């Protein structure tokens, strides 16, 4: 990518797209193209084709998606499947039709079978049943990988796919009904500290192991992949390290300065016992995550405190 290349970031208002856009701007790229979902409905094939014909992007970061937690995925599976299928099909096909030089499709670790061995390797894709609670979303994300691979095989399109682990950072969702565990705990502990609450409740036993990647590290990996990697199939992006939810809660409490008790409610669901990505393929290509969990949590905390009103209004 040249500094003046025409680069389209789909989903630039989301956690991932926002981090990619920040990184491109910081690196001095000037030909950046964005559209909000109100300006361009990526589910509308005619609108997407017209946009590509008008803007002629050379490079595409496909970070747009309908996302949500277990509750949203379970309640609206038809929307999660349809919206994400249409977004992927329209953007990938329009990229082929209009001669995009390279496309990076961003997915999720939920593409892997529910009972796949740990850590999760790329070759485990399509080797077993998916987790039921997010199967609709996962099927759409698998279809996007297949589209990229088949356009590569049939037409020689340079379309690649990256599968990040659990993400967090500036621009995250802090709504307690729909957020993931890290931002939810961060908000809970800030509010408990401010209210001088004696304890904070944490869902589950605290024993499940989870991996967390700071979203700006994913943006760094995305540029690395766009510039240096051209191969089929998903490529895992993560830290290759995990920790228990109990240890995560303590890291967050220390960052916030909350000194009350952490009470684990084992009657609440734990989810999968472990979900760790094997990142040896990306490491062999020359990329590793650089932000420690402590530093990433501190930066996310600082961002949230500075943007609290906007963060809570966004969801």
Res. 275: pLDDT tops 80 = yes
Tell me, yes or no, if 29 is annotated catalytic.
no
Q: Is 258 among the domain residues?
A: no
CA distance 154 to 93: 13
**CB contact at 8 A, 212 and 248:** yes
With a CB cutoff of 8 Å and minimum separation 6, the contacts of 232 are 148, 149, 152, 153, 160
Is the pTM here over 0.85, yes or no? yes
Angle between helices 215-228 and 15-26 (to 10 degrees): 60
Residue 182 within any structural domain of the chain: no
**294 known ligand binder:** no
Q: Is 95 annotated as a binding residue?
A: no
**158 part of a folded domain:** yes
Q: Is 303 flagged in the annotation as binding?
A: no
pLDDT tens digits for 210-233? 999 999 999 999 999 999 999 999
SS (H, E, C) the chain: CCCCCCEEEECCCCHHHHHHHHHHHHCCCCCEECCCCCCCCCCCHHHHHHHHHHHCCCEEEECCCCCCCHHHHHHCHHHHHHHHHHHHHHHHHHHHHCCCCEEEEECCHHHCCCCCCCCECHHHCCCCCCCHHHHHHHHHHHHHHHHHHHHHHHHCCCEEEEEECEEECCCCCCCCCCCCHHHHHHHHHHHHHHCCCCEEEEECCCCCEECEEEHHHHHHHHHHHHHHCCCCCEEEECCCCCEEHHHHHHHHHHHHCCCCEEEEECCCCCCCCEECECCHHHHHHCCCCCCCHHHHHHHHHHHHHHCHHHHHHCC
183 is in an annotated binding site: no
Q: Evaluate whether residue 302 is within a structural domain.
A: no
pLDDT of 178 above 90: no
pLDDT band at 51 (very low <50, low <70, confident <90, very high): very high
Name the pLDDT band for 134 (thresholds 50, 70, 90): confident
Any binding-site annotation on 180?
Answer: yes
Task: Confirm whether 62 is domain-assigned.
Answer: yes
State how many domains the chain has. 1
- On whether residue 261 sits in a domain, the answer given is no
Q: What is the percent of the chain with per-residue pLDDT over 70, rounded to a whole number?
A: 100
Q: Is 11 annotated as a binding residue?
A: yes
Which one of the listed residues 137, 168, 214, 304 is annotated catalytic? Answer: 137
For residue 155, is it within any domain? yes
> Is the pLDDT confidence value at 74 over 90?
no
> In this structure, what CATH number is given to the domain that contains residue 141?
3.40.50.720
**100 annotated to a ligand binding site:** no
Q: Which domain covers residue 76, as residue numbers?
A: 7-170+213-240+275-291
Q: Does some domain include residue 142?
A: yes
């Amino acid at each position: 990518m040249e500094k003046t290349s025409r680069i389209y970031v789909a989903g630039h208002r989301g956690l991932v797209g926002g981090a990619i856009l920040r990184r491109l701007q910081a690196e001095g790229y000037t030909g950046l193209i964005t559209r909000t979902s109100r300006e361009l409905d990526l589910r509308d094939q005619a609108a997407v084709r017209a946009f590509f014909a008008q803007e002629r992007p050379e490079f595409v970061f496909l970070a747009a998606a309908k996302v949500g937690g277990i509750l949203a995925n379970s309640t609206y599976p038809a929307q999660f499947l349809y919206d994400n299928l249409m977004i992927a099909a329209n953007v990938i096909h329009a990229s082929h039709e209009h001669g995009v030089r390279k496309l990076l499709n961003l997915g999720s670790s939920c593409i892997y079978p529910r009972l796949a061995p740990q850590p999760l390797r790329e070759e485990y894709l399509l080797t077993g049943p998916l987790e039921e609670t997010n199967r609709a979303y996962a099927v759409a994300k698998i279809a996007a990988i297949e589209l990229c691979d088949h356009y590569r095989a049939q037409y020689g399109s340079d379309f690649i796919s990256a599968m990040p682990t659990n993400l967090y950072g500036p621009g995250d969702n802090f709504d307690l009904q729909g957020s993931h565990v890290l931002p939810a705990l961060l908000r809970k502990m800030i509010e408990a500290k401010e209210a001088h609450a004696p304890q904070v409740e944490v869902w589950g036993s605290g024993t499940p192991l989870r991996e967390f990647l700071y979203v700006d590290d994913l943006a760094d990996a995305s540029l690395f992949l766009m510039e240096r990697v051209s191969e089929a199939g998903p490529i895992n992006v993560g830290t290759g390290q995990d920790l228990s939810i109990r240890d995560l809660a303590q890291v967050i409490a220390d960052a916030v300065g909350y000194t009350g008790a952490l009470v684990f409610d084992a009657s609440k669901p734990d989810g999968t016992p472990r979900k760790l990505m094997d990142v040896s393929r990306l490491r062999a290509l020359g990329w590793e995550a650089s932000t420690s969990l402590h530093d990433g949590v501190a930066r996310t905390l600082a961002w949230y405190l500075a943007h609290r009103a906007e963060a809570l209004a966004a969801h």
